[in-house]
Amino acid sequence: MKENISIVLTSEKLNLTTCNDFVQDHASGGIALFVGTVRNHTNGKEVKRLDFSTYEPMAIKEMYKIAEQAIEKFDISKIAIHHAVGDLEIGEVPVIISVSSAHRRAAFKACQFAIDTLKETVPIWKKEHFEDGEVWVNSHP
C-alpha cells in the first residue's frame, strides 16, 4: 500500500469527509471530488434501489492500478477511490473519488480518468431493481 492512495471497497456507508481529508496536502492547490449517487430512474423506468456486487480481490487490484496510473499520468499528489457494495437506496452514494494536485487541471483530469476507467475495468456489477422486476447492468461499454 502506498501512503498517497486510499482504496476502499465496503458494505458500509461511504464518507465524503474521509475521502476529502485523505487527499489534503499542503503542496496541493486543488482537490477534485466525484460523488456518484443512486438516481431514481433509468431509461424511463423508476428505480427502487441498486445492488452492487463484486469480485473483491480483483476489484481492489484494479482500483489500485487505476490510482497508480492516475498518479503517473496526471502528476497528482493523492487519490482516494472508495466504492460501496450491497443494496443502496435512492440518494445513497456508491462511489467517491477524491484527488489532490498542485494545480486544478490535473485534479479534474485525474478524477475523470479514475471514474471512467473504474466503470470500464473494475469487476463491480450493478443490479437495478424496479417495481416490476430487476436487471443486471453492464457498466462496461
Average pLDDT, the chain: 94
Mean pLDDT is lowest, of 69-73, 116-120, 126-130, for: 126-130
Instruction: List, for residues 39-67, the tens digit of each pLDDT value.
Output: 999 888 899 999 999 999 999 999 999 99
- What nine digits make up the cell of 103? 494545480
139 backbone dihedrals φ, ψ, rounded to 5°:
-75, -20
Could you tell me whether strands 76-84 and 41-42 are parallel, antiparallel, or unpaired per DSSP bridges?
A: unpaired
For the chain, the structural domain boundaries read: 5-137
Query: pTM of the prediction?
Result: 0.93
CA distance 97 to 100: 10
Instruction: List, for residues 62-93, the tens digit of each pLDDT value.
Output: 999 999 999 999 999 999 999 999 999 999 99
CATH architecture of the domain with residue range 5-137: Alpha-Beta Complex (3.90)
Residue 66: strand, helix, or coil: helix
85 backbone dihedrals φ, ψ, rounded to 5°:
-125, 160
CA distance 26 to 100: 10
Residue 139 has pLDDT above 60, yes or no: no
